[in-house]
């Protein structure tokens, strides 16, 4: 990279750590450290929630998803507005009025300590694993840029973030998130501008979209009711509804954001910001991926986007086979480019366009076939049967196609996306560890200063643990799918417990606990012995918890009215 790009990255990293520490307020008090003294304005909380979601996974994994599959992943978010409305009138006022630090404290008020502890433990495991995936996304970029191991790059991105998170607290995390989300959106718009200007002079933007549409990459509605298909209208409106209700309503990384708001009204407004803006932002991210597909129709693309494996095959014992594949790939790409231009020129004639579209799809299949052979060659050479280079598409585009200055800006944006999510999740993991376990079971009467010291140690521990997960997470496939697979294994069951807590007066503590165990068992069975898409695991978990919980509660008999139920 050019020294200018390195300077931009260095200035950003220095500034964001300094700014995070500078913004620390009342960090010597427990409520000030964990919840910013419940004083944050709704718009800052809303932007912080969005920054947490706009992780480096979004910048790298979702753009790669858009390149490979197009816009169909957008269906995943169709239930988000409804979920935000439901949470705004149910769990948000319950948590705020209960004056809790964590969502799981509420479960002890409603049920008992064992239900609280087990649910919080599930959160700690699922969120720490997901945090590892969040760290692995920028680690992929740095590994490409610096040509060093993912292990070192994971530590390089996680440790500076841990510094201002450990000492800055919620106040610092929120206000740095606000600045970071602005940089992220600006970086995405800059990428779109470079992509559009890089299209062939013979192809307009509408024609480029028409070419992408011919491959199905602009499909945003799939009404087939197939439980094995990850992204359909029904999975995005039914299954994803349960995921969003659990993520935004019971996941401490999100609950902690609006617990720090000034009031119930401010907390509700912060959630509605996501309802209004998440889908357009996600569409923008996916559109970057679609535009990269069109861009590489008219600009020579690498056969493999992972430069490390490309170099290993080029210099290894299979170099001859790889060179032959590259020759075939170049020929197939040239034929696809000509077919794409013919399709663009045929847009005024329906018959001619149909013929051109068929020819283009045939050439696209040829290119995809050669690329699949190259991926198979990597798998044979490395023994890694799960190899997938979709996560390297956007980093490769940045490093090879962006102009000087914008390279540094885009990588800084990826850093911003990573750091905003990492800091929020480290804070929530530390809070749950200290409040739900250390203060509840180990040291219940210590000073705020003692708890803050333990919290900072917990933050450092979770940062190191997640960095270890990050070492192997980058090779699991599309990062955006990996993090949602992790979450979907737990979210439905956790949501089921809160449904019992808020929605059923007769639900007992034993009913909730047994239901939670049954829900986790049902999801584990579905994940290992069926082909049901992971989004539906959320529905399975929630339904089993509620049904089993109510049955056990009925067998136990009536219980005294709980203060948290309605």
Within a domain: residue 393? Answer: no
* Sign of CA pseudo-dihedral 332, 338, 344, 346: negative
- The 3-state DSSP composition of the chain as helix, strand, coil percent (nearest 5) reads 80, 0, 20
pLDDT of residue 430: 92
pLDDT of residue 331: 93
pLDDT of residue 486: 66
Domain boundary among 363, 388, 413: 388
Within a domain: residue 204? Answer: yes
Note the pTM of the prediction, 2 decimals. 0.81
Sorting pLDDT into bands at 50, 70 and 90, what band is 565?
very low
pLDDT of residue 485: 66
How big is the chain, counted in residues? 566
277 by DSSP, 3-state: which?
Answer: helix
> Do 75 and 175 have their domain in common?
yes
- 190-240 residue pLDDT tens: 999 999 888 867 778 888 888 888 888 888 887 777 777 667 788 778 888
Pairwise CA distance, residues 555 & 166, whole Å: 47
Contact in structure between 459 and 426 (CB atoms under 8 Å) = yes
* pLDDT above 80: residue 260: yes
Domain boundary among 388, 414, 443: 388
Integer CA distances (angstroms), 358 to 207, 362, 370, 423, 428, in order? 16, 6, 19, 48, 51
- 18-38 residue pLDDT tens: 877 776 655 667 788 888 888
> Do 494 and 382 have their domain in common?
no
pLDDT of residue 70: 86
- The number of folded domains in the chain is 2
Sorting pLDDT into bands at 50, 70 and 90, what band is 333?
very high
Q: In which element (H, E) is residue 42 found?
A: helix 42-53
Other Cβ atoms closer than 10 A to 498: 26
Domain boundary among 336, 354, 388: 388
Within a domain: residue 184? Answer: yes
pLDDT of residue 312: 82
> Do 259 and 154 have their domain in common?
yes
pLDDT of residue 566: 43
């Amino acid at each position: 990279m050019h020294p200018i790009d390195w300077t931009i990255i260095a200035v950003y990293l220095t500034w964001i750590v300094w700014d995070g520490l500078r913004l620390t307020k009342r960090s010597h008090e427990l409520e000030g450290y964990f919840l910013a003294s419940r004083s944050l304005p709704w718009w800052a909380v809303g932007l912080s929630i969005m920054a947490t979601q706009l992780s480096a996974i979004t910048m790298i994994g979702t753009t790669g998803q858009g390149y490979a599959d197009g816009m169909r992943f957008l269906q995943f978010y169709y239930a988000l507005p409804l979920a935000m409305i439901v949470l705004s009138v149910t769990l948000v006022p319950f948590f705020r009025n209960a004056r809790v630090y964590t969502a799981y404290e509420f479960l002890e008020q409603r049920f008992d300590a064992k239900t609280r502890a087990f649910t919080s433990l599930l959160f700690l495991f699922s969120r720490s694993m997901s945090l590892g995936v969040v760290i692995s996304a920028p680690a992929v970029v740095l590994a490409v840029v610096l040509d060093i191991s993912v292990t070192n790059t994971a530590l390089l991105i996680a440790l500076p973030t841990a510094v201002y998170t450990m000492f800055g607290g919620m106040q610092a995390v929120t206000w740095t998130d606000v600045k970071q989300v602005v940089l992220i959106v600006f970086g995405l718009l800059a990428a779109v501008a470079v992509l559009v200007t890089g299209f062939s002079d013979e192809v307009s933007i509408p024609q480029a979209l028409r070419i992408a549409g011919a491959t199905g990459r602009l499909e945003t509605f799939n009404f087939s009711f197939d439980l094995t298909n990850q992204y359909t209208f029904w999975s995005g409106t039914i299954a994803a509804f349960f995921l969003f209700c659990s993520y935004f309503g019971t996941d401490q990384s999100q609950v902690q954001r609006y617990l720090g708001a000034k009031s119930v009204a401010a907390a509700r407004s912060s959630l509605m910001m996501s309802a209004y803006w998440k889908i357009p932002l996600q569409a923008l991210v996916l559109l970057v991926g679609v535009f990269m597909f069109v861009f590489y129709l008219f600009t020579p693309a690498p056969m493999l986007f992972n430069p490390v494996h490309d170099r290993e095959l080029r210099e290894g014992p299979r170099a001859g086979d790889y060179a032959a594949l590259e020759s075939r790939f170049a020929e197939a790409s040239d034929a696809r480019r000509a077919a794409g231009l013919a399709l663009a020129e045929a847009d005024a004639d329906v018959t001619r366009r149909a013929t051109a579209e068929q020819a283009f799809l045939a050439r696209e299949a040829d290119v995809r076939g050669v690329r699949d052979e190259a991926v198979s060659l990597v798998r044979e050479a490395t023994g890694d049967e799960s190899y997938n280079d979709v996560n390297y598409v956007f980093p490769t585009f940045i490093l090879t196609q962006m102009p000087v200055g914008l390279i540094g800006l885009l990588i800084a944006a990826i850093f911003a996306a990573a750091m905003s999510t990492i800091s929020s999740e480290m804070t929530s993991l530390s809070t749950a560890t200290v409040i739900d376990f250390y203060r509840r079971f180990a040291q219940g009467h210590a000073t705020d200063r003692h708890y803050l010291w333990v919290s900072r140690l917990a933050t450092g521990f979770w940062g190191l643990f997640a960095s270890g997960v990050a070492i192997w997470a980058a090779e699991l496939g599309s990062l955006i799918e990996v993090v949602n697979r992790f979450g979907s294994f737990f979210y439905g069951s956790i949501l089921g417990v809160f449904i019992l807590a808020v929605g059923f007066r007769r639900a007992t503590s034993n009913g909730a606990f047994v239901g939670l165990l049954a829900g986790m068992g049902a999801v584990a069975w579905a994940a290992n012995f069926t082909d049901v898409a992971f989004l539906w695991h959320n529905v399975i978990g929630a339904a089993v918890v509620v049904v089993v919980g109510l049955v056990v509660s009925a067998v136990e008999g009536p219980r005294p009215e709980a203060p948290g139920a309605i």
